[in-house]
Amino acid sequence: MERREAVIKISWILKSAFLAPTLLTVLQSCQDQVLSARELLVLSDDQDDLIIAIADTILPRTTSPSASDVKVDRFIDLLLQDVFEEDVKQKFLLGLLDFDKDCESITGSRFLELDTSEQYTYLEKIDKEIMEQEYDELVPFYYTFKHLVITTYFTTEQGVKQNLNYMPIPGAYVGEVDLKPGDKIIIGNRM
Amino acid sequence: MAEKSKFDVLVVGGGMTGSWAAKEFTEKGYKTLVLERGREVKHIEDYSTTNNAPWEYKHRDYDTKKVKGEQYMQSTKYNFDASSKQFFVNDKDHPIESPKNKPARWFRGYQSGGRSLLWGRGTYRMSDYDFKRNIQDGNGSDWPIRYKDIAPWYDYIEEYIGVSGTNEDLDHYPDGKFLPPFDMNVVEKEVKKKLENHYTDRKLVPNRVAHLTKIKPGQFYGRSECQTRDMCHTGCPFGGYFSSNSSTLPAAKRTGKLTLVSNTIVDSVIYDEEKKKVIGVKVIDSITKERSEYYARVIFLCASTLATTGILMRSKTATFPNGLANSSGVLGHYLMDHHKNIGGSGVMDGFEDKYYKGFRPAGLTIPAFRNIYSREKDFLRSYGVYGGAKREGINPDQVGIGKEFKEKLTRPGAWTMGLYAYGECLPYYENKVEMDEQKKDKWGFPILKITADFKENEMKMRKDMKEQVYEMLEVMGLKDIKVHDGTHIMGDSTHLTGTARMGKDPKTSILNSFNQSHDIKNLFITDGSCMPSVSYKSPSLTFMALTARACDYAVKEMDKGVF
C-alpha cells in the first residue's frame, strides 16, 4: 500500500474521558518523569512545540492572543498529569505522534517543518475530514485536541476578556435583548 | 450532666429542614440546640469560591484524579466542580454500599445549611392528586394529610423563602404565593404557543424556583435580588436563592435562643424506657472523637432521609430492638427517588437577532399530564418535564480553523431548546436501606447499605417519557431533534425519601400526621424520610412545610405541658 493512500492513522479516545467527570478507577502512573528545561510536567519540548504549532493554527494571534499566548499548551500538560487517566494520556500522546507521522506521509514534512501557510493548508484539510463527521463515544485524537484547545482558551482570562462579553454579575435576567452584528457571546464565571 | 447540655428542643441536622425547625422554635422563645455533623458554613464569609473566575482554578472545571479518587461518588453530581466540591463529602470517609447490580448514589453536603447550598431550587406544592395516589392505586400507605392541611404551611414557607413563578390554575399543580417569574426568552415564548395550541393538557410555564426576583423594602432580611450569575452551588453572597445559611439559620441566631454545635455526629437517641420518651442524644465529636450527650424535652430528627434512618437503626433499645420508633418494622423500607436522565433537544431556526442578558438559574416546566384524572397509560403515576431555550455558546466541535474561525467562535450560535423528564417512583417495600454491621466508618458507625432500584412501572414510564420528549420537541417546531435515554440510578436525583414514613396506622408507619412518632410522643422526624410517596415533584418545599407544621404542633403541646 502506498503511504499517501494509507488511511490516516487515528488514535481514538473515549469522549467521556475528556468531556465529563467519570467513575474510572484511579490509576497512578509509576513512570519516572524527566523534567524538561521548560518545566513541563508530562510533555517533552518537542511535543510541546507541536502542540503549540497546531493550537496556534487553530487559534492564531489576531487582535486577541493566540492559543499559546494564553498557555493552552501548559494547561494540556497539566491535564495530562493531573486529570487524564493513564490510558487516556497514552492515547493522547500517541495521537499527537500519529498526527505528525500522518503529516509527514502526506506532505513529506513534519508539521513543525512546514511554514505557517502550509500548516494552515494541511490542517484545514485534516480538520474538515474529521470535524465533518458525527461520532458517538469514540472520537479521533484531533477532535479531542481541538476541543481541549478551544475550551481551554475560552476559560483563560485574556481568552475571555479579549474575545467575549464578560459579565460576571449580570443583574436581573432580561429574556429578550436585541443582538446587533458584532455582538459577542455573553459569558460569566460559571464553569 | 451540666446545665449547658439541656435544651428545650434538640434538632439533629442543620440543613434544609433542621434550620426551619431551629427558626420556628427559637422564634417561639424555646432554647434550641442544632447538632450539625459537619463544619459551620457562615453566609457569605464561608463562600470561598463564589467570586472566582474560571481561570482562578488551577484545573478549571476538570476534576483531577485526586479529587475523583476522594469524591468518587459526589463528583458524579451535575453541580459538582472545583467551585462547589468543598460543599460535598469525601466519599472515602463516608462510604456507602450497594449491590453491584443495583448501584446507588448518596450525594451529601455535611455542613450547616447541608444541601440547601446545592439544591436545584425547584419549589412545588403537592396536590390532593399526589396525596391520594397511594390510597387510589394501592401502593404504599395513605398520606395522613391532605392538601388543606398543608396549604397554609406552603403559603408560610413560600412567603418566607421567596419563590418566583406564575399562577396557572391547574388543580394538580397548585398555585402559590409567588414573586414575579423569570422572563421567558423569545424562543421559549414561541414554543410555548406551539405546544399549548397543540395539546389541551399541557402548559409550558416558568419553573417555580426559590429565587428572589423582586424584593419590596423590608422583605427577606439580609438577602437581595438574584443577580443571575448561575453560581448558586458556590453559595450566593447576594442570598439570591434560598439556603438555610442565608435565611433560616441567621433568623434563628437573631433570637439569641439558638445553639449551633458543628462537627458533632449523633451516635444514637437516648430512650427512657420508664418515661417512654426520648431524653437526649449521644454524640461523638467528628474531629476529636470525644463522646458526650445532650438533653432536651423534644427531639427533631432532620438529618436527611438516610442519616435519620441510620440514627434510628443505631438507637436500639429493649422496647425497640429493630430500631427506635420502629414498632411497625417499616423503618428503612420504601426508599424512593426520582428517576431521570431522559431528555432531548433540537434546533430552532431564526430569531438570530435576539439574545438575552444574564444566566437565568432556572428553566421552564411542563407540569405532569399523564394519569392525572384517570389512569390512561400502562404505568402508574406521572412525570414532569423541564427545559428551556438558549443560544449555543462556544462550540469547539465544528469545522474550521484560523482567524475567521476564531472570530466565528465568539458569536452566539443557533437557538436550541432542550427538555428533560423527572418521573415518580412507587414506594416498594423491597427498596431499602440497612446497616452493614460488619463494616464500620472511621467513627465506628456501621456503613449504610442501599438495596434499591427502579422497577417495571418506572421502566414503562421512561419509555413514555422518551417518546413524549421527542413528540413535544417536534410539536415545538424544532429540527435536528436528538433524544437520549441515560442511566437510572437510585439517589441520582438527590431526592431519596420515604424510609420513616408518615401514615394513619401505627402498624404500617413510623409517624403520624404531625410527623410525630407513633411510638414516642416527643420524637419528630421531618426530613425526606417522612414521605409516604414522593410524587414527581421535587420534595424540598413539602418537607419544609411539614417541618414548620410539626413545629407548630409541638409548640402547642409543649405549651400545654404534654412534653
| Residues of B in Cβ contact (< 8 Å) with A75 | 60
In which residue are the cell numbers 398520606 written?
A: B143
Contacts of B223 (CB under 8 A, 6+ apart): B162, B212, B215, B238, B239, B240, B246, B247
Indicate the residue of B391, B393, B402 with minimum beta-carbon distance to A120: B402
| Residues of A in Cβ contact (< 8 Å) with B393 | 185, 187
- What mean pLDDT comes out for the span B296-315? 98
Residues 126-145 of A with CB under 8 A from B: 127-128, 131-132, 143
Question: Tell me: the pLDDT tens digits for A106-162?
Answer: 999 999 999 999 999 999 999 999 999 999 889 999 999 999 999 999 999 999 999
Top residue of B78, B81, B182, B355 to mutate, by most chain A CBs within 10 Å, is B355
pLDDT of residue A137: 87
Share of chain B above pLDDT 90, in %: 99
Q: Report d(CA B335, CA B342) in Å as an integer.
A: 21
In which residue are the cell numbers 393538557 written?
A: B201
Q: How far is B230 from chain A (nearest CA, A)?
A: 6
Structural contact between residues B244 and B253, judged by C-beta atoms closer than 8 angstroms:
no
Q: Reduce the DSSP state of residue B266 to 3 states and report it.
A: strand
* CA–CA distances in Å: residue B69 to residues B102, B449, B472: 21, 21, 40
Q: Report d(CA B230, CA B239) in Å as an integer.
A: 12
- Cβ-defined contact of B355 to A183 (cutoff 8 Å): yes
SS (H, E, C) B361-412: CCCEEECCCCCCCCCCCCCCCCEEEEEEEEECCCCCCCCCCHHHHHHHHCCC
Structural contact between residues B447 and B96, judged by C-beta atoms closer than 8 angstroms:
yes
- What mean pLDDT comes out for the span B387-399? 96
- Cβ-defined contact of A120 to B401 (cutoff 8 Å): yes
| Residues of B in Cβ contact (< 8 Å) with A127 | 399-401
Question: Tell me: the pLDDT tens digits for B345-372?
Answer: 999 999 999 999 999 999 999 999 999 9
Residues 37-96 of A with CB under 8 A from B: 57-60, 62, 64, 75, 78-79, 82-83, 85
Question: Measured between CB atoms, does B352 come within 8 Å of chain A?
Answer: yes
Q: Report d(CA B533, CA B134) in Å as an integer.
A: 7
Q: How far is B544 from chain A (nearest CA, A)?
A: 27
Half-sphere exposure at residue B407, Cβ-oriented, CA atoms within 13 angstroms: 7
Question: Measured between CB atoms, does B216 come within 8 Å of chain A?
Answer: no
- Cβ-defined contact of A176 to B356 (cutoff 8 Å): yes
- Cβ-defined contact of B68 to A24 (cutoff 8 Å): yes
Indicate the residue of A78, A169, A179 with minimum beta-carbon distance to B355: A179
Q: How far is A103 from chain B (nearest CA, A)?
A: 17
Least confident of A16-20, B82-86, B116-120: A16-20
Which residue of chain B has the CA closest to A144? B397
Question: Tell me: the pLDDT tens digits for B4-51?
Answer: 689 999 999 999 999 999 999 999 999 999 999 999 999 999 999 999
Contacts of B123 (CB under 8 A, 6+ apart): B158, B161, B163, B165, B208, B209, B210, B538, B540, B541
- Cβ-defined contact of B76 to A21 (cutoff 8 Å): yes
Helix (H) or strand (E) holding B418: strand B415-423
pLDDT of residue B363: 97
Sign for the pseudo-dihedral over CA of B393, B399, B402, B405 = negative
pLDDT of residue B100: 96
Contacts of A184 (CB under 8 A, 6+ apart): A163, A164, A165, B410, B411, B412
Q: How far is B388 from chain A (nearest CA, A)?
A: 12
- Cβ-defined contact of A170 to B359 (cutoff 8 Å): yes
pLDDT of residue B453: 98
pLDDT of residue A16: 67
Contacts of B10 (CB under 8 A, 6+ apart): B32, B33, B35, B280, B281, B294, B295, B296, B298, B299, B300
Structural contact between residues A155 and B62, judged by C-beta atoms closer than 8 angstroms:
no
| Kind of pairing between the strands at A186-187 and B32-35 | unpaired
Backbone angles phi, psi at B446, to 5 degrees: -60, 140
Examine the predicted complex and report whether its ipTM is higher than 0.90. yes
Question: Tell me: the pLDDT tens digits for B493-546?
Answer: 999 999 999 999 999 999 999 999 999 999 999 999 999 999 999 999 999 999
For B134, the grid coordinates are 397511594
Q: Report d(CA B79, CA B231) in Å as an integer.
A: 10
Sheet strands (E) in B181-290: 205-206, 258-261, 264-272, 277-285
- Cβ-defined contact of A171 to B412 (cutoff 8 Å): no
pLDDT of residue A38: 81
Which residue of chain B has the CA closest to A62? B403
Which residue of chain B has the CA closest to A29? B65
Top residue of A142, A162, A165, A173 to mutate, by most chain B CBs within 10 Å, is A173
The neighbour count for residue B143, using CB atoms within 10 Å, is: 26
Question: Tell me: the pLDDT tens digits for B122-139?
Answer: 999 999 999 999 999 999
Q: Is residue A10 pLDDT above 70, yes or no?
A: no
pLDDT of residue A24: 32
Burial of B15 (0-12, 13-18, 19+ CB in 10 A): buried
Q: Report d(CA A149, CA B448) in Å as an integer.
A: 43
Q: Is residue A17 pLDDT above 80, yes or no?
A: no
| Kind of pairing between the strands at A174-178 and A186-187 | unpaired
Q: Is residue B448 pLDDT above 50, yes or no?
A: yes
Partner residues linked to B392 by β-bridges = none
